[in-house]
């Protein structure tokens, strides 16, 4: 299959079933949550994916809250794309949380929520500590790379911002540390669209989750917890402990077209 194509049909059709299996793994792993890297109490804002709301990120936020973070949902209802209420509401949320806590906040975005998070980091880098994306196709160059394109386009008439492709044409790194958690088994977006161009403070972490399970798959949760636990102002590449390395396949580099664009 061409890297530019969307996920294979069997991956797409099996997404709901695999997401349920991923949730079963989450339930089995819940007793191990206290063994995850502990947080320092800094604020974290979690942004949901397309057609999802804060209910979809409940498991993720619950885990991060147990680790000691000040975790917040976006409180903007169902995510139907960049409507005026969504764009203005997210910016207001970031500004409010940064002012309330007097320190930069970390942004965790799932799928479309991760694209929002990257935009927010570019607009207000002083208010953002780091960005972590889960299956976010910020490297899309054409609609066929996502099986959610039709759902997104269905609400395009309500969008205040019209996003053209490629999503991030210049391949520029973010002004803050950035981590992309992605999966070769993603049935919604092609995994190649989720890759950061590796740099001094950006990386990619591969897991074996479904797209709909990235917010609760144990390996993804470990990766998020590990990245958030880094002391403020420091950054080091992700390295799973030896006993967990089978859960993290070797990350891929961006496809040649994206490497060339970033050069």
The pLDDT, as a whole number, for residue 1 is 37
Residues in the chain: 263
Dig out the tokens for 36 from the structure. 């995850």
pLDDT band for 169, please (50, 70, 90 cuts): low
The pLDDT, as a whole number, for residue 259 is 44
- Cα-Cα-Cα-Cα dihedral sign, residues 140, 258, 179, 43: negative
Say what the pTM is.
0.93
Distance in angstroms (rounded) separating the CA atoms of residues 106 and 232: 10
Hey, is 249 helix, strand or coil? coil
pLDDT band for 168, please (50, 70, 90 cuts): confident
Q: Is the pLDDT of residue 94 over 50?
A: yes
DSSP codes, 165-197: SSSSTT-PPPSS-EEEEEETT-SSB-GGGG---
Hey, is 1 helix, strand or coil? coil
H or E stretch including 71?
A: strand 70-73
Q: Is the pLDDT of residue 133 over 90?
A: yes
Distance in angstroms (rounded) separating the CA atoms of residues 134 and 212: 10
Q: Return the percentage of the chain with pLDDT > 90, whole number.
A: 85
Taking Cα atoms as reference points, which of 146, 176, 178, 141 lies closest to residue 256? 141
The pLDDT, as a whole number, for residue 257 is 44
pLDDT band for 3, please (50, 70, 90 cuts): very low
Instruction: Render pLDDT for 214-249 as a digit per residue (tens, 0 to 9).
Output: 999 999 999 999 999 999 999 999 999 999 999 999
CATH 3.30.1380.20 fits 9-262, yes or no: no
Q: Is the pLDDT of residue 262 over 60?
A: no
Q: Is the pLDDT of residue 16 over 50?
A: yes
Instruction: Render pLDDT for 22-31 as a digit per residue (tens, 0 to 9).
Output: 999 999 999 9
Domain ranges of the chain: 9-262
Instruction: Render pLDDT for 188-221 as a digit per residue (tens, 0 to 9).
Output: 999 999 999 888 899 999 999 999 999 999 999 9
Distance in angstroms (rounded) separating the CA atoms of residues 260 and 160: 31
Instruction: Render pLDDT for 47-87 as a digit per residue (tens, 0 to 9).
Output: 999 999 999 999 999 999 999 999 999 999 999 999 999 99
Q: Is the pLDDT of residue 261 over 70?
A: no
pLDDT band for 263, please (50, 70, 90 cuts): very low
The pLDDT, as a whole number, for residue 4 is 52
The pLDDT, as a whole number, for residue 250 is 85
Hey, is 207 helix, strand or coil? strand
Q: Is the pLDDT of residue 163 over 80?
A: no
Q: Is the pLDDT of residue 256 over 80?
A: no
Q: Return the percentage of the chain with pLDDT > 70, whole number.
A: 93
Distance in angstroms (rounded) separating the CA atoms of residues 21 and 218: 11
């Amino acid at each position: 299959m061409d890297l530019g194509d969307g996920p294979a049909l069997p991956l797409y059709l099996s997404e709901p079933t695999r997401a349920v299996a991923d949730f079963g793994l989450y339930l089995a792993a819940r007793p191990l949550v206290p063994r995850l890297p502990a947080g320092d109490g800094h604020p974290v804002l979690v942004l949901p994916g397309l057609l999802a709301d804060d209910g979809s990120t409940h498991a993720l936020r619950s885990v991060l809250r147990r680790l000691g973070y000040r975790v917040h949902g976006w409180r903007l209802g169902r995510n139907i794309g960049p409507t005026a209420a969504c764009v203005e509401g997210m910016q207001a949320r970031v500004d409010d949380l940064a002012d309330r806590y007097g320190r930069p906040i970390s942004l965790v975005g799932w799928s479309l929520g991760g694209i929002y998070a990257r935009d927010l980091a570019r607009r207000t880098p002083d208010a953002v500590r780091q960005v972590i994306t889960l299956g976010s196709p910020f490297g899309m160059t054409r609609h066929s790379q996502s099986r959610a394109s039709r759902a997104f386009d269905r609400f395009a008439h309500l969008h205040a911002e019209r996003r053209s492709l490629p999503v991030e044409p210049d391949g520029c790194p973010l002004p803050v540390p950035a981590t992309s958690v992605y999966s070769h088994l993603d049935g919604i977006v092609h995994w190649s669209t989720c890759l950061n161009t590796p740099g001094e403070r950006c990386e990619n972490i591969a897991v074996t989750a479904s797209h709909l399970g990235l917010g609760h798959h144990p390996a993804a949760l470990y990766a998020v917890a590990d990245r958030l636990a880094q002391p403020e102002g420091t950054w080091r590449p992700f390295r799973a402990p030896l006993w967990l390395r089978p859960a993290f396949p070797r990350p891929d580099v961006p496809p040649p077209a994206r490497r060339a664009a970033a050069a």
